[in-house]
Amino acid sequence: MNNLDFTFETSPWEQYAARLEDHDIVSASQILTLLEGESDEIFEDAFRQLEELRAEIDLSDMPRPVITGETGLRLKREAELSGKAQLLKHLEDTDPLRLYLEELASIPVCGDICVLAEELSQANDAGKPNERIREQIVNLSLSRVVEVAGQYTGWGVLLMDLIQEGSLGLWRSTDGFIGRGEDFEQVRDWWIRAYIAWAVVTQARSNGVGQKMRQALEDYRAVDERLLGELGRNPTVEEIAEQLHIQPEAAAIIANTMENIRLMDRVKPAQEPEEAEDPEDQQAVEDTAYFQMRQRIADLLADLSEEDAKLLTLRFGLEGGRPMSPEETGRRLALTPEEVVAKEAAALAKLRRS
């Protein structure tokens, strides 16, 4: 078999991330929509990219979850108490959050954080990290973590979890910090917010918010195209909102998201002369970044084992169906999503070497 040079199409997230610049603001809806169906590994890699750019995650256009039961009551109570700064006053004596806050209040803190940050910067710059200074800075800043975490209540993540994630961000802010003109408190707050916001986005992803948002985008586009034909002009956001039975503000968020991530720029498949595809299946194929390489991979499957060939067939939709996510493929083949991703990578690597 001849050696073939595989050129993988970049994913929608990669295309979007390539246009980002330092300190850009990235909406949570864009993150969830673009990474819908991707593996946990790719999802976490996306956060690493945002870290490198010091991008700000904006949650304002992401729908707030409706959570029932005891968890829902707890989340609602935490949001109310955080807003009034009355957590310790109203939490029970044995509440884990109260115990943590009391422990936090008992930690001896001393020193000027600006002076300590300068000492930390000098130590890191000299290649001699000072753990004592790091610990002092962390102890001085833990109350700031609680303050920031309180601003993110109401998004479906318990306050204790938000505090834990923010604490990780705080520690990360001291890791290798070299000021060079940067204000440490601003850097610290960015890392705290970034880790907390990512926890919220991760929770939303596990709740299927990305899938719902993608459906909202598709519904918006369908109504937009229909009204364009009926009216002979581009419909207004208000007209589209009326057809979708949503508020104009919600429709405006969807419209902005569509513009930002360019979901309209999709590859149109050649029409089948014999039998037209079901519109939903056809759209699913158009939506995947793998569409361009389906036929090339199908021609090469003969060199793979039966299991690997079946795995790629399901992942890329080579038998005419829609491409499946790692989770869906795993259910078909009795594999975990992680095993699917690993086997897929190995199989594609084998094809490249053929």
Domain that holds residue 314: 281-353
CA distance 265 to 248: 24
pLDDT in tens, 116-150: 999 999 998 888 888 899 889 999 999 999 999 99
Query: Which tokens in the block code for residue 270?
Result: 């050649």
In-domain check, residue 97: yes
In-domain check, residue 328: yes
Instruction: Note whether 190 and 292 are same-domain residues.
Output: no
Max mean pLDDT range (84-93, 236-245, 260-269, 288-297): 236-245
CATH of the domain at 336: 1.10.10.10
Instruction: Note whether 184 and 292 are same-domain residues.
Output: no
User: 167-171, 255-259, 327-331: which range is least confident on average?
Assistant: 255-259
Average pLDDT, the chain: 78
How many domains, in total, are found in the chain? Answer: 2
In-domain check, residue 116: yes
Instruction: Note whether 188 and 290 are same-domain residues.
Output: no
Terminal-to-terminal C-alpha distance of the chain = 7
Contact (Cβ atoms closer than 8 angstroms) between residue 156 and residue 200: yes
Owner of token pair 């070299």: 178
User: 61-75, 77-91, 102-116, 313-327: which range is least confident on average?
Assistant: 313-327
